[in-house]
Amino acid sequence: MKKQLFATLLISCLVLASYTPLCIKPNKLGKIVIDAGHGGKDPGCFGKKLQEKDVCFDVAMEVGALIKTYLPDIQVVYTRTSENQFVELRERARLANRENGDLFISVHCNSASSANVCGTETYIMGLSNIDEDDEVALRENSAILSEINYLEKYDGFDPNSPMSHIILANYQNNFQNNSLRLASYIENEFVETAQRKSRGVKQSSFVVLWKTAMPSVLVEVGFLTNQDEENYLEGKHGKKNIAYGIFKAIEKYKNAVENKK
């Protein structure tokens, strides 16, 4: 029964998605929207010393600074500009769309029940990893519970319902190839440039990527519940290495799309 329900729902979602108009983006990478995850009354996950919202903000600002310095032809837009600023998840996508961004990058930190789990992950919207134990999407999407009237704002989306996540994942199909390309570059650079352990590129359903009309990724830069990774992300050197890895991936992506490689 459960499999039949899943199949019916999946087919219905794919049919609906096929009627979504394709937004054709130019080959030139002119504007990047950088989203520092969480913020304000939504702290995100915790380590022993760090809060996710603070690490995300520092990394996001560093990525933007590198772009402005070394790729000055690209305009950088931030979804939040202070550590204590709260921005609703839907407003982050709305801002990216209003700005007509060519890329959307959302920066986050991870957590796990085991202190031994470590590594980076980069997500795109999709179905491959969605199941009832998809803790990352459930945790990151739970930020909408801090918002007033969230069921009305998000068309009845329930962050605690696996079925809601399945429906959500059918968006972003138009930009999946370029999202996957950027995500792959980011994870490769985390290994080669920042010398971090990569847990790979994954697909899941994230509200913050839901309605962004551009290639979009969500980057988990490390586990705050792992002592070594929290120590690494606590220092300026670690955050700069992570930011530089993301920057190098953007540089590769820019070269690939503008030169049609």
At 237-247, the pLDDT tens digits run 999 999 999 99
CATH of the domain at 177: 3.40.630.40
Question: Could you identify the residue written with the tokens 């955050």?
Answer: 239
In a domain, 157, yes or no: yes
Sorting pLDDT into bands at 50, 70 and 90, what band is 119?
very high
Percent of the chain with pLDDT over 90: 60
Query: Angle 236-258/176-192 helices, nearest 10 degrees?
Result: 140
Position 9 in a domain: no
- Number of domains making up the chain: 1
The reported pLDDT for the residue numbered 110 is: 96
**Sheet containing 75-78: order of strands:** 75-78, 31-36, 103-110, 216-223, 120-125, 198-204
Q: Is 139 helix (H, G, I), strand (E, B) or coil?
A: helix
Pick the residue with more confidence: 230 or 23?
230
Both tokens assigned to 209: 């990527």
Residue 16 domain-assigned (yes or no): no
Please check whether residue 8 lies inside any domain of the structure: no
Distance CA 43, CA 48 (A): 14
Distances (CA, A) of 222 to 12, 17, 190: 36, 33, 11
pLDDT band at 150 (very low <50, low <70, confident <90, very high): low
Rounded to the nearest integer, the mean pLDDT of the chain is: 82
Amino acid at residue number 14: L
At 129, give phi and psi (nearest 5°). -105, 10
Higher pLDDT: 90 or 4? It is 90
Instruction: Specify the 3-state DSSP secondary structure of 103.
Output: strand
Predicted confidence at residue 23, as pLDDT, reads 42
Q: Which H or E run includes 36? A: strand 31-36
Instruction: Give residue-wise pLDDT tens across range 25-66.
Output: 557 899 999 999 999 999 999 999 999 999 999 999 999 999
Domain ranges, residue 46? 29-258
Task: Specify the range with the lowest mean pLDDT, choosing from 17-26, 38-47, 152-161.
Answer: 17-26
Q: Which of 53-57, 101-105, 190-194, 208-212 has the lowest mean pLDDT?
A: 208-212
SS3 105: strand
| Residue 79 scores a pLDDT above 90 | yes
Contact by Cβ (8 Å): 31, 101:
yes
In a domain, 161, yes or no: yes
- Asked if the structure places residue 158 within a domain, the reply is yes
**234 falls within a domain:** yes
User: Which stretch of DSSP H or E encloses residue 228?
Assistant: helix 227-234
* pLDDT at position 222: 98
Planar angle of CA 19, 21, 25, nearest 5 degrees: 150
Tell whether 24 is covered by a domain: no
